[in-house]
Amino acid sequence: MDQIHLMKVFVAVGELESFAAASRRLGISPAAVTRAVTALEERLGVKLLLRTTRSVRLTEAGGRYLDDSRHILTSLTEANEAAAGVNATPKGNLAVTAPVLFGKFYVMPCIADYLKTFPDVDVTAYFLDRVVNVVEEGMDVAVRIGHLPDSGLKAIGVGKVRRMICASPEYLARHGVPQRPGDLSEHVIIAANNLSPLADWRFSTSGEPTSLRLKPRLSVTSNDAAITAAREGLGIVRQMSYQVAEDVANGTLKVLLDEFEEAPWPIHVLHRESKYGSTKVRTFIDRLVEHLRAHQHLN
């Protein structure tokens, strides 16, 4: 069988951990999927998958081969597009990821504009408050907030944000305004994305990083819920500056202890480097970078 076909079938099975699901994705019979995987294992002389009647999982060698196969198939697609002249007009599916509120406020408007401009492109947007593995999860473009670990990804700096301590005027009128980080232990704390009994908030005092462990009265799993609670006067919250920019601008939240804030966090647009590149990726990145660099709340 053709090597590329075998790799495509194996990638589908490895990603979905199911022969039946892979057959549905590829539009071929389950028997054809089984034959392809068996043929690939025989050709390589190594076991790629462990199969039982109830589950399918990758061997150690299978996990490595899955990553390598993804890279090869992606490069092949891009090479074919370049040779066929597809790069002249963006086409195909574009996978984009960003944190939830950042995606909603800053990435989604760029996606909407991009889709209106290029009708042959479909976008799948994953707005998640966790670190998404760009390669393993098949993302074309990612927005990452914070300092980056070393990786094989191309990173383009587009701005920076701060962690801000905020509360509503109503709350501050009832409980007073904290003057130093240590005063927060006497206040009602709202914690986001933290369901542990304690929350560690970091500050900078005389240029030196310090950490304060606080006991939240309210812990929630989403940033927008925490902001809503602070807006309603329930307590003090710590959020990224872009997440509370509108509330700070209209006065529904007040910034506290700004002289003790940590150093700003950088924002990067990430993508996989490619020998050929892809017009759909390049054109989207160009628009997104320009859009983010021009935004007043991110610079």
Residue 33 CA to residue 31 CA, distance in Å, equals 5
Which pLDDT belongs to residue 196?
65
Task: Report how far apart, in Å, the C-alpha atoms of 219 and of each of 50, 187, 189, 226, 253 are.
Answer: 41, 14, 9, 8, 19
| Residue 107 DSSP class | I
* 76 and 13 within one domain: yes
When divided into structural domains, the chain yields a total of 3
pTM: 0.70
Which pLDDT belongs to residue 82?
67
> What is the span of the domain harbouring residue 175?
163-260
The last residue of a domain, from among 84, 107, 123? 84
* 149 and 292 within one domain: yes
Residue where the block lists tokens 């700004």 = 258
* 255 and 173 within one domain: yes
What contacts 40, CB < 8 A, 6 or more positions away? 6, 7, 9, 10, 48
- Residue 66 near residue 58 (C-beta atoms within 8 A): yes
Which pLDDT belongs to residue 286?
94
| Residue 8 DSSP class | H
* 134 and 47 within one domain: no
What is the tens place of the pLDDT at every residue in 256-270? 999 999 999 999 999
What CATH number does the domain containing 184 carry? 3.40.190.290
What CATH number does the domain containing 293 carry? 3.40.190.10
* 275 and 246 within one domain: no
* 223 and 200 within one domain: yes
What CATH number does the domain containing 61 carry? 1.10.10.10
The last residue of a domain, from among 61, 84, 107? 84
* 253 and 176 within one domain: yes
* 185 and 248 within one domain: yes
Per-residue pLDDT 10s for the chain (299 aa) are: 688 999 999 999 999 999 999 999 999 999 999 999 999 999 999 999 998 878 899 999 999 999 889 888 877 877 776 676 655 688 889 999 999 999 999 999 999 999 999 999 999 999 998 888 888 788 999 999 998 876 778 899 999 999 999 999 999 999 999 999 999 999 999 998 766 677 899 998 877 888 999 999 999 999 999 999 999 999 999 999 999 999 999 999 999 999 999 999 999 999 986 655 678 898 999 999 999 999 988 87
What is the tens place of the pLDDT at every residue in 97-122? 999 999 999 999 999 999 999 999 99
* 79 and 95 within one domain: no
